[in-house]
Structure 1
């Protein structure tokens, strides 16, 4: 208990060194932060249903911090992938004007950037699952945020089932589940009618252009990297400038597309 008390005092001192927590005004979740804070304080479990761009991933840990969570235990925040865990941790640390590995840390396979000062800990759901083996009550946490729960991986499904039993033994533990879909009602039912808070996402004008498959110079159907390069050529003809986001299924496809684009640069892309 002395060690836990010392850790709590250390985290509290670190949090008190913060200036007022700032929130980006253009994020929809920020408009409802008071309502979210009250719901977290009142209920043991809440479901936050928010579209992509709502800000729930980066702002919920800060809202928890603002109401005193993260002192008696860490605010654990899971992400489905390692890249997301690292990048979200870096973003939250930047917004709190703290170095990464200090007030905000992350733990993924082969990389642990969490310190005794850390009040917010990003990690993959696999890391949290592994911690259950040696800490069944998850005593190091006072708050857990399960992000992107709609992805419904085996890890997430197991965790949600485990939490239903754990919460009875840990009445002090707060659980926040986020989902980008209307599956939120299903999560609410699983946790005995936990409240669902809907947060809208930011919307932008979208123009859809359909580009049918085309043949290359040798008469063969273009593969995906070739099609990406051709599509960018068409966009550049119109004089459009800016960044391009391409969704691909895996690392190999990403590397192949990147290599094709590097070779394609002489055409002005």
Structure 2
């Protein structure tokens, strides 16, 4: 069964879509990390490194639910065989099966928040492949504009954005948004121009679904480390440092996309 985390009266469910090796050596992904930082990260998160030092990447989404009410899905995984992520990620993913194991039916998913439009986070939201045929899909306008400008270099605009717009299911944001009691989308740009996270709160309990605000435990050891996959490393560092500082002050749990364990403290 998927792992869960209670946030007051809300339940956050970790959904593993797939797992596979990252396409570049981790030393290239974090060129400024020291041997001491890697050793500390490996002690903190041993599940994502092989004995040979290869970086193993989980691909994870989260479902958020209040009781038996509608579900908000944060990120939509790598998708089925033939999805956009197939050229580098281990498709097919199993997100629909993971949801079923958690007792969530596709029709229960009312909203999908895409932390960003990289193809390992939106695969099961693509209308041609998606079981979530009625869900509104929320993305930041800055990411939509990026892929519209590069529509001939990547498939996100043609396969995701345009069909969702045609169906009237795409909601484009410019900043933060309250989704309802206990749920707030917060802009955390830098990894992509429109990267966003989801803050879950109830009373004194809180949790932050981070997306790719951080992708490896070495960024918990040193949040200032540059990641080669960030579109704007300086802006990503600022977003990450601010979010982790605020999470630590609140005592929030982090719900992470690519670390070995889904729920961590900052």
Q: Please tell me the TM-score bracket, short chain as reference.
A: 0.3 to 0.5
- Considering Cα pairs closer than 8 Å and 6+ residues apart, tell me whether 1 or 2 has the greater RCO: 1
User: Quick check: which has more Rg, 1 or 2?
Assistant: 1
Relative to the length of structure 1, the TM-score reads 0.32
Relative to the length of structure 2, the TM-score reads 0.32
